[in-house]
């Protein structure tokens, strides 16, 4: 049971709070004091007030004592079904938890458990009208019963708290709206705001009024508002008529010229509003007005310039027209021979004048002009008076009323058909030129006479890998071979200064860094006065051509060499044959025979690139040339071996002599005779690959003395082959057989041999 | 061909020619003219060896294009010893390097007399 002293103390707490709340207009201050007092009265030192927020979604810890600052004013609890706080508010009565360890009805918020709260009392707070504000929560860090007296005390306390909270909240709202009003009024510079009493004497004069009219507050307070009226308006009684209207109607428009302190005039668009006391009696007037002097001046200037524009375009354009504000109707169009006339308003003007394909574009431009209230401007196709399609450059300005709304459009259109056709033709020819320029294999360019390039075709960029920025001006010079640059530029400038065609060959670096030869030609383009205004140039890749030419000159030289050598060889054969011939007849037959052999070798050599010459082919050619068929008496045996071209001629002449001799005197001249030719490839130590050939004839009949013919063959084999081919040879003629062996290198030279 | 005024008489002439019959023909012509023939040799290597081994050489006839090589190393060696020489060639003049611009050359087929004229004129 609480003792009397405690009762007294609690009475005192309630009284103290009541007194405190009357002195304070700050809600947070009052709530905090309320918490402090209740915590002290119940001896818990902890209490807090939770405020319902967000339409009943959560509870904010609005004030509290004994709680950390990061909880007070910060923490929000959701209003869940399972919380004692929500339950207390819903039921409208106190809810006590004596020991949270035994609490089964509700969930205790985590932050409270963490703070060591063991027992708590929730008492709802209502503001007048039985509207829930939130609750008072008293927290104890030890289990506590919260007896009847405690609960009654808390209920009494919250009953006092409700109206206090209500009053302070209303004060807060009022104060903030007053604050807002003051801020608006004091900061409005474009609006002159002041108030007057029922006799229209100035009572309040805000900064905007000072700014617009020029008087300071102390200069005008108490003065009649008529001082802001012009003398003529005062004379006409406009000032008093305005206030009389406002008093009668509630408000009256105030749109007129007013007077400023310095005597100049200001145009005000505004309103005078009557102010009344709560009892309905007239308290005075609130006058709010905007300075629109500048806007009016601008409007007038615009109207004047519109007038001038109209006069000008009417005189200078092919067509003038007038459209309704939304362009749905053409009010008038004066076609002046370019377009049909539209003398009466016409709503089908679009179909009348504009090709269906172009209508969307025209409509879009119209919409844009209407939306922005700016000039309509478009070049578009139009049906001409003669029925054909032409081009027009059409412009229209909006005509605005006092309120700035469009009333109509005034337009003018010029016939630009010719210009458009020329432009189109130009564009087309330019496009054609570009297409051709980009398709040719040459690099093309345009430059000035100093070689500053203004344009290259795509081929240049593709070939050099330069970007247009890199190539422009003299940037292209970078791709020229350093050895060619000066020569190229010097000759180019010289040609251009003389107005001649430039032609030169130089190397240009490709994107891969390799240089290729180009033949460049540049032609100056002159104006009527003969001045060079532009250079057109083309560079053709002649690299392959040059290489072919070089190859050709090598081939020609080689051919020269071969031909002259061949003649010398023919001469030597002739001399040799002549020396050994007993008669001209013998000479003729042997010489012709040898020339044929030589010519067969040339045949083989000319095809050698496509058809490498093998030793078998060489021997077979000579044997075939004998004419007679000896196939069954000849054996050719050996691998496919390709001969060096340099070896072929001398070797072939030697084989020819062997074959001819075989037919005339040797194995092929007798019935049982047999010719066996065998060859193989071998690699002696320290040497390259060699061909070892063995020519073996059996069944020959040896003549009394060696014929001269055989002498020439022997010389070829025993001396020419070693001299020319570094061959090792042997020639053995027996009673019934002939054995000739020739061993020669297959690869390029190895070791010397004596002639 | 042999005469008292024959400038080739007694001359030691080096012949470099890769074609056997041409070499043999030249040899015969020079010998008939009273010259002593060194070689003939068909290759640069052998020519250089011969030059190195021969103290006195009075003149030389060099075939420019040997089978797999050009005769220029031989020309350089002779020039170093101050031996006059001519090129025998089937080539156009322009294909011979600049440094031999002053060297006379005879086009094939050669005649010893023509060579003598070119060498000693």
List pLDDT tens digits, range B41-54.
Answer: 999 989 999 999 98
A689, A745 in Cβ contact below 8 A? Answer: yes
List, for residues A564-580, the tens digit of each pLDDT value: 778 878 887 888 788 77
* CB proximity list for A181: less than 8 A, separation 6 or greater: none
Closest-approach residue (CA) in chain A for B93: A557
Q: Same domain for A121 and A33?
A: yes
CATH number at residue A345: 3.30.450.20
A204 with A230, same domain: the answer is yes
Find the CB nearest B68 among A576, A720, A749. Answer: A749
**Low-confidence winner among A46-50, A293-297, A540-544, A690-694 (lowest mean pLDDT):** A293-297
pLDDT at A306: 67
Three-state DSSP string of A104-134:
CCCCCCHHHHHCCCCEEEEEEEEECCCEEEE
Flag whether pLDDT at A494 surpasses 60. Answer: yes
Residue-wise pLDDT tens digits, A132-174:
889 999 988 888 888 888 888 888 888 888 888 888 877 777 6
φ/ψ (deg, to 5) at A485: -60, -55
| Interface probe, candidates A560, A575, A727, chain B, greatest B C-beta count within 10 A | A560
Mean pLDDT confidence for A631-638:
86
Q: Residue A87 has what pLDDT?
A: 86
Q: Is residue A337 part of a domain?
A: yes
Identify any residues that bridge with A321 across adjacent strands, giving them in sequence order.
A333, A411
pLDDT band at A366 (very low <50, low <70, confident <90, very high): very high
User: Would you state the pLDDT for residue A288?
Assistant: 85
At what angle are helices A27-42 and A4-23 packed, to 10 degrees?
170
Give the model confidence (pLDDT) of B63-121 as tens digits: 888 877 888 999 999 999 989 899 887 655 556 777 888 888 787 777 777 887 777 76
> Residue A555: closest CA among chain B residues belongs to which residue?
B91
Q: Which residue of A has its CA nearest to B109?
A: A568
> How many angstroms away from the CA of B20 is the closest CA of chain A?
5
Asked if A287 and A350 sit in the same domain, the reply is no
Strand A502-509, strand A515-526: pairing: antiparallel
ipTM: 0.87
At residue A201, the pLDDT reads 93
- Has residue A755 got a pLDDT over 70? no
| 3-state DSSP assignment of residue A502 | strand
Q: What are phi and psi of A538, to 5 degrees?
A: -145, 140
Kindly state the percentage of chain A with pLDDT values over 90. Answer: 15
Output the average pLDDT for chain A. 84
A521 and A505 Cβ atoms separated by less than 8 Å: no
DSSP labels for A431-479? HHHHHHHHHSSSEEEEE-TT--EEEE-HHHHHHH---HHHHTBTGGGGG
Element (H, E) at A571: helix A543-580
Q: What is the pLDDT of residues A603-619, one digit of tens each?
A: 888 888 888 889 998 99
Say whether both A138 and A243 belong to one domain: no
Q: What is the reported pLDDT for A335?
A: 83
pLDDT confidence of residue A314: 65
**DSSP 3-state of A316:** helix
Give the nearest chain B residue to A553 (CA atoms). Answer: B95
Is residue A269 classed as helix, strand or coil in its secondary structure? strand
Residue keyed to tokens 């013998």: A586
- What's residue A311's pLDDT? 65
Domain end (from A387, A421, A455): A421
| Domains contained in chain A, number | 5
Q: Which of A116, A114, A124, A164 is nearest to A140 (CA)?
A: A116
* Beta-ladder partners of A393: A379, A414
Whether A153 and A201 share a structural domain: no
For residue A318, pLDDT over 70 is answered with yes
Partner-chain contact A567 B22, CB within 8 Å: no
pLDDT of A447 over the 50 cut: yes
Average pLDDT of span A449-456: 86
Cβ–Cβ below 8 Å for A723 and B49: no
Q: Per the domain annotation, does A681 fall within a domain?
A: yes
Average pLDDT over residues A545-553: 87
How far off is chain B from A541, nearest CA to CA, in Å? 26
Within a domain: residue A475? yes
Count of alpha carbons within 13 Å of A370, Cβ hemisphere only? 14
Cβ of B25 within 8 Å of Cβ of A571? The answer is: yes
Q: Do A342 and A246 reside in the same domain of the chain?
A: no
User: Which residues of chain A lie closer than 8 angstroms to B97, CB-CB?
Assistant: none
Min Cα separation A508/chain B (Å): 27
| Residue whose tokens read 């860094």 | A513
The CATH number covering residue A140 comes to: 3.30.450.40
Instruction: Let me know whether A261 and A309 are in one domain.
Output: no
pLDDT at A694 over 90: yes
Average pLDDT, stretch A192-220?
89
Q: Do residues A223 and A364 both lie within one domain?
A: no
Q: Which residues of B touch A565 (CB under 8 A)?
A: 19, 22, 90, 108
Of all residues in chain A, the one with the smallest CA distance to B21 is A572
Q: Is residue A95 part of a domain?
A: yes
| Residue A666 placed within a domain | yes
Half-sphere exposure of A611 (CA within 13 A, CB side): 9
Q: Which of B43, B65, B109 sits opposite A567 (nearest CB)?
A: B109
Which pLDDT does position A753 carry in this prediction? 43
Using a pLDDT cut of 70, give the percent of chain A over it. Answer: 93
Residue A301: pLDDT above 60? Answer: yes
> In B, what residues contact A, Cβ < 8 A?
18-25, 39-43, 45-46, 49, 65, 67-68, 89-92, 95, 107-110
Candidate from A22-31, A297-306, B60-69 with smallest mean pLDDT: A297-306
For residue range A640-649, list pLDDT tens digits in order: 998 888 788 8
DSSP SS3 for A616:
helix
**B21 and A573 in contact by Cβ < 8 A?**
yes
Report the pLDDT averaged over residues A76-105: 85
> For A422-449, what is the mean pLDDT?
83
In a shared domain, residues A227 and A336: no
Tell whether A552 lies on the interface with B, counting CB pairs under 8 A.
Answer: no
The answer to the question of residue A313 being in a domain is yes
Cα-based distances in Å from A25 to A125, A133, A169, A408: 19, 18, 9, 61
CATH of the domain at A630: 3.30.565.10
Of all residues in chain B, the one with the smallest CA distance to A554 is B95
Residue that finishes a domain, picked among A176, A208, A229: A176
Mean pLDDT of A507-519: 91
Alpha helices (H) along A581-696? 584-606, 615-624, 645-664
Q: How far is CA A144 from CA A43, A147, A510, B67, in A?
A: 11, 9, 97, 126
| Residue A365 pLDDT grade (very low, low, confident, very high; cuts 50, 70, 90) | very high
pLDDT score at A368: 92
Subunit contact A564:B43, Cβ cutoff 8 A: no
Structural domain boundaries enclosing A85:
4-176
**Top-level CATH class of B12-120?**
alpha beta
Contact B45 A749 (CB under 8 A): yes
Which of A560, A568, A749 has its CB closest to that of B109? A568
User: Does a structural domain hold residue A397?
Assistant: yes
Q: Are residues A263 and A304 in the same domain?
A: no
CA distances from A27 to A31, A41, A172 (A): 6, 21, 8
- Judged by CB atoms closer than 8 Å, whether chains meet at A568 and B108 is answered as yes
In a domain, A503, yes or no: yes
A557–B contact, CB cutoff 8 A:
yes
pLDDT of residue A749: 55
Query: Which of A575, A723, A752 is closest, CB to CB, to B20?
Result: A723
Indicate if the pLDDT at residue A540 is higher than 60.
yes
Distance (Å, whole) CA A285 – CA A199: 9
Query: Shortest CA distance to A577 belongs to which of A656, A669, A524, A469?
Result: A656
Same domain, A214 and A328: no
Residues 633-672 on A with a CB inside 8 Å of B are 646, 650
Backbone angles phi, psi at A67, to 5 degrees: -120, 150
B67–A724 CB contact, under 8 Å: yes
Q: Both ends of chain A: CA-CA distance in Å? A: 151
Last residue of a domain, one of A541, A556, A571: A541
- How far is it, in rounded angstroms, from Cα A466 to Cα B43? 52
Q: A129 pairs with which residues across the strands?
A: none
Residues of A in contact with B37 (CB under 8 A): none
Q: How far apart are CA A288 and CA A217, in angstroms?
A: 16
Which one of B40, B43, B92 has the shortest CB-CB distance to A557? B92
* The pLDDT of residue A743: 93
Candidate from A568, A571, A724 with C-beta closest to B42: A724
Confidence (pLDDT) at A704: 59
């Amino acid at each position: 049971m609480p003792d009397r002293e405690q009762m007294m103390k609690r009475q005192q707490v309630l009284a103290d709070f009541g007194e405190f709340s009357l002195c304070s207009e700050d809600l947070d201050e009052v709530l905090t004091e309320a918490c402090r007092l209740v915590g002290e009265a119940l001896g818990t030192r902890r209490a807090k007030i939770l405020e319902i927020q967000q339409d009943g979604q959560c509870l904010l810890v609005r004030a509290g004592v004994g709680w950390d600052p990061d909880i007070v004013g910060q923490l929000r609890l959701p209003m869940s079904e399972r919380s004692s706080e929500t339950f207390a508010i819903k039921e409208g009565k106190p809810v006590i938890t004596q020991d949270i360890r035994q609490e089964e009805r509700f969930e205790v918020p985590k932050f409270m458990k963490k703070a060591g709260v063991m027992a708590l009392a929730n008492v709802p707070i209502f503001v007048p009208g039985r509207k829930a504000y939130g609750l008072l929560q008293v927290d104890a860090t030890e289990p506590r019963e919260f007896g009847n007296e405690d609960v009654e005390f808390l209920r009494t306390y919250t009953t006092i708290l409700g109206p206090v909270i209500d009053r302070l909240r209303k004060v807060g709202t009022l104060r903030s709206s007053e604050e807002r009003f003051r801020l608006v009024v004091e900061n409005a510079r474009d609006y002159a705001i002041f108030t007057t009493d029922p006799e229209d004497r100035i009572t309040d004069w805000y900064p905007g009024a000072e700014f617009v009219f020029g008087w300071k507050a102390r200069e005008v307070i108490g003065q009649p508002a008529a001082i802001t009226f012009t003398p003529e308006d005062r004379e006409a009684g406009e000032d008093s008529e305005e206030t009389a209207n406002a008093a009668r109607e509630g408000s009256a428009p105030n749109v007129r010229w007013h007077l400023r302190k310095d005597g100049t005039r200001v145009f005000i668009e505004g309103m005078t509003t009557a102010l009344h006391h709560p009892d309905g009696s007239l308290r005075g007037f609130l006058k709010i007005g905007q300075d629109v002097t500048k806007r009016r001046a601008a409007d007038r200037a615009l109207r004047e310039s519109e007038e001038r524009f109209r006069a000008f375009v009417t005189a200078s354009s092919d067509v003038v027209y007038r459209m309704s504000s939304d362009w749905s109707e053409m009010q008038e169009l004066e076609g002046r021979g370019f377009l049909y006339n539209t003398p009466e308003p016409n709503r089908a003007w679009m179909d009348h004048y504009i090709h269906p394909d172009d209508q969307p574009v025209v409509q879009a431009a119209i919409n844009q002009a209407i939306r922005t209230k700016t000039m309509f401007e478009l070049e578009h196709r139009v049906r001409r008076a003669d029925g054909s399609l032409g081009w027009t450059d059409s412009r229209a300005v909006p005509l605005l009323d006092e309120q700035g709304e469009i009333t109509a459009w005034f337009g003018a259109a010029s016939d630009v058909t010719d210009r458009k056709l020329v432009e189109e033709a130009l564009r087309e020819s330019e496009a054609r030129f570009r297409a051709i320029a980009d398709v040719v294999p040459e690099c093309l360019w345009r430059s000035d006479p100093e070689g500053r390039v203004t344009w290259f075709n795509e081929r240049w960029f593709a070939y050099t890998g330069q970007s247009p920025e890199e190539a422009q001006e003299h940037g292209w010079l970078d791709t020229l071979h350093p050895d060619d640059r000066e020569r190229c530029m010097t000759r180019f400038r010289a040609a251009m200064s003389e107005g001649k065609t430039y032609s030169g060959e130089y190397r240009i670096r490709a994107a891969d860094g390799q240089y290729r030869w180009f033949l460049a030609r540049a032609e100056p383009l002159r104006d009527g006065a003969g001045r060079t205004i532009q250079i057109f140039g083309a560079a053709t890749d002649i690299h392959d051509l040059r290489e072919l030419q070089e190859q050709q000159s090598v081939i020609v030289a080689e051919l020269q060499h071969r031909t002259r050598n061949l003649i010398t060889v023919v001469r030597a054969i002739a001399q040799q044959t002549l020396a050994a011939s007993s008669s001209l007849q013998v000479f003729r037959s042997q010489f012709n025979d040898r020339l044929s052999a030589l010519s067969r070798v040339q045949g083989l050599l000319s095809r050698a690139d496509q058809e490498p010459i093998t030793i078998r082919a060489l021997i077979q050619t000579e044997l075939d040339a004998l004419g007679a068929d000896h196939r069954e008496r000849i054996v050719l045996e050996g691998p496919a071996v390709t001969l060096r071209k340099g070896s072929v001629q001398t070797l072939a002449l030697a084989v020819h002599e062997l074959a001819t001799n075989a037919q005339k005197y040797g194995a092929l001249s007798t019935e049982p005779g047999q010719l066996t030719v065998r060859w193989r490839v071998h690699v002696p130590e320290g040497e390259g690959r060699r061909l070892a050939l063995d020519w073996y004839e059996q069944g020959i009949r040896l003549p009394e003395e060696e014929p001269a013919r055989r002498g020439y063959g022997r010389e070829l084999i025993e001396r020419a082959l070693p001299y020319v081919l570094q061959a090792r040879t042997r020639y053995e003629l027996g009673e019934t057989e002939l054995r000739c062996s020739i061993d020669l290198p297959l690869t390029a030279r190895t070791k010397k041999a004596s002639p | 061909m042999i005469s008292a005024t024959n400038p080739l008489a007694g001359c030691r002439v080096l012949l470099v020619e890769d074609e056997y019959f041409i070499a043999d023909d030249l040899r015969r012509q020079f010998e008939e003219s009273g010259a002593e023939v060194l070689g003939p040799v068909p290759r640069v290597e052998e020519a250089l060896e011969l030059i190195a081994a021969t103290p006195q050489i009075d003149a030389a006839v060099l075939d420019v294009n040997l089978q797999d090589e050009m005769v220029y190393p031989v020309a350089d060696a002779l020039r170093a010893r101050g031996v006059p020489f001519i090129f025998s060639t089937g080539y156009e003049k322009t294909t011979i390097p600049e440094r031999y611009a002053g060297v006379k050359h005879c086009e094939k087929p050669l005649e010893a007399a023509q060579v003598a004229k070119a060498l000693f004129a």
